[in-house]
């Protein structure tokens, strides 16, 4: 066990924890004021629900002894054998508890990311059951496949901090949910104007800040790899914020603050799988592409006609996919991508992308259908009119 690494990863875990309330503000500002609390709640309460589920069973399914490359065993349920020393720890430089709690924060934020897709029209009770099932049936297997000794990791797929596990998985789930739950009332005729963009910008800034823990911490040590991941994360994000506003300036007319914030998040998403495998200069190139491609990604919903309210598909789905593929192209640090002549890596990345989308979409479909037909997921038209804050929580965000 290395005390310096331990200190660093504990701090990183706290940074990643802070991303979830950051996401709550990012999403909260984008909805109409009558839905601000319900939207914030759907992220915030994941800190409660996912943390408990993770300790009880999620961690074990993700990092327990491998069963056929598909899922972890039940060795660590109720944190049995997860202690203060490094015994059985997947990272032998860290106390097992440190590794577990760092991973816990990833499990918290991933289901919260999906909530942007069904914002402003989801019932709370159904949402909680949906999210719990999603952690166990989608997140835990994905996490095991990539980081827990499962088949994707064995195949050599590169995913430094969660391009597939966190972003593609939530993006695919978001697409499925947006299609199944249907459009918000008045979609196409009513203006869905964000009620508080300063709140959204603050949320994006908190995400950016917390993401240093997410990506640099994924080096699982306080070493040079962590430094590289820190710098690549920052550079890609900076570049994507710039390229998004340039794209909308050229395409839509004006550079917007929402565009700058969205571009930053797109850059953060895209660099996530690549953070430890690319150089800072290639990170800038990757980020420049991310801003433009995700700007295109959010246009998809208008073309295809689904109501992904807060653009989870366009930013996390498209950005995560782009990042995973570009990792196969630009990897030169501790891995070899296409630019070093290793075309096989790009193929492996491609296989992981297809498998992630297919598995997460299909499994989310099943979970959604089951919960919808038992508990019910979509709010009625009257509730939607009143707003989810009053209808689901009996409170309002603002008293003026």
| Binding site residues, another protein, CB under 8 A | 191-194, 248, 251-254, 256, 258-259, 262, 295, 298-299, 302, 311
Strands 71-72 and 66-67: antiparallel
Count of residues making up the chain: 400
Per residue, what are the HEC states of 330-379?
HCCCCCCCHHHCCHHHHHHHHHHHHHHHHHHHHHHHHHHHHHHHHCCCEC
Please identify, using beta-carbon distances, which residue of 68 and 253 lies nearer to another protein.
Answer: 253
Per residue, what are the HEC states of 178-194?
HHHHCCCCCECCECCCC
Please identify, using beta-carbon distances, which residue of 48 and 252 lies nearer to another protein.
Answer: 252
Smallest separation (angstroms) from another protein to the CB of 257: 10
Please identify, using beta-carbon distances, which residue of 256 and 342 lies nearer to another protein.
Answer: 256
Sequence-distant (6+) residues with CB within 8 A of 211 are 19, 233, 237, 268, 272
Smallest separation (angstroms) from another protein to the CB of 192: 8
Please identify, using beta-carbon distances, which residue of 230 and 295 lies nearer to another protein.
Answer: 295
Smallest separation (angstroms) from another protein to the CB of 112: 20
Helices (H) and strands (E) in the chain, counts: 18, 2
Smallest separation (angstroms) from another protein to the CB of 298: 5
Please identify, using beta-carbon distances, which residue of 190 and 374 lies nearer to another protein.
Answer: 190
Please identify, using beta-carbon distances, which residue of 80 and 251 lies nearer to another protein.
Answer: 251
Smallest separation (angstroms) from another protein to the CB of 191: 4
Sequence-distant (6+) residues with CB within 8 A of 230 are 212, 215, 216
Smallest separation (angstroms) from another protein to the CB of 256: 7
Across 169-187, b (16+ Cβ under 10 Å) vs e yields: bbbbbbbbbbbbbeebbee
């Amino acid at each position: 066990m290395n005390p310096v690494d331990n200190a660093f990863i504990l701090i990183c875990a706290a940074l990643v924890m802070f991303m979830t309330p950051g996401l709550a503000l990012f999403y909260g500002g984008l909805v109409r004021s009558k839905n601000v609390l319900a939207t914030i709640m759907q992220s915030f309460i994941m800190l409660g629900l996912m943390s408990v589920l993770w300790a009880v069973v999620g961690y074990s399914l993700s990092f327990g002894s491998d069963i056929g490359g598909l899922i972890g065993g039940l060795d660590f349920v109720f944190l049995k054998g997860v202690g203060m020393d490094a015994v059985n720890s997947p990272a032998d430089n860290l106390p097992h508890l440190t590794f577990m709690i760092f991973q816990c924060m990833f499990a918290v934020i991933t289901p919260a990311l999906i909530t942007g897709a069904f914002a402003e029209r989801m019932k709370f009770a159904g949402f909680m059951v949906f999210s719990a099932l999603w952690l166990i049936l989608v997140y835990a297997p994905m996490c095991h496949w990539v980081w827990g000794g499962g088949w994707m990791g064995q195949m050599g797929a590169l995913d430094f901090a969660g391009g597939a596990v966190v972003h593609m998985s939530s993006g695919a789930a978001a697409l499925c949910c947006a299609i199944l739950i249907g459009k918000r009332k008045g979609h196409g005729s009513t203006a869905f104007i964000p009620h508080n963009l300063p709140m959204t910008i603050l949320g994006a800034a908190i995400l950016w800040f917390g993401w240093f823990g997410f990506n640099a911490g994924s080096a699982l040590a306080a070493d040079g790899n962590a430094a590289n991941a820190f710098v690549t994360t920052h550079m890609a994000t900076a570049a994507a914020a710039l390229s998004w506003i340039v794209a909308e300036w050229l395409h839509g007319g004006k550079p917007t603050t929402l565009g700058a914030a969205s571009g930053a998040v797109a850059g953060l998403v895209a660099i996530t799988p690549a953070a430890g495998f690319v150089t800072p200069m290639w990170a800038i190139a990757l980020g420049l592409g991310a801003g433009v491609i995700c700007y295109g990604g959010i246009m998809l919903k208008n073309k295809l006609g689904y109501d992904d309210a807060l653009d989870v598909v366009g930013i996390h789905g498209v950005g995560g996919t782009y990042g995973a593929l570009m990792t196969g192209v630009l990897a030169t640090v501790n891995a070899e991508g296409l630019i070093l002549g290793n075309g096989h890596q790009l193929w492996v990345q491609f296989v992981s992308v297809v498998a992630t989308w297919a598995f997460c979409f299909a499994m989310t479909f099943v979970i959604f259908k089951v919960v919808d037909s038992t508990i019910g997921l979509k709010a009625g038209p009257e509730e939607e009119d009143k707003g989810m804050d009053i209808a689901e929580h009996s409170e309002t965000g603002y008293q003026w």
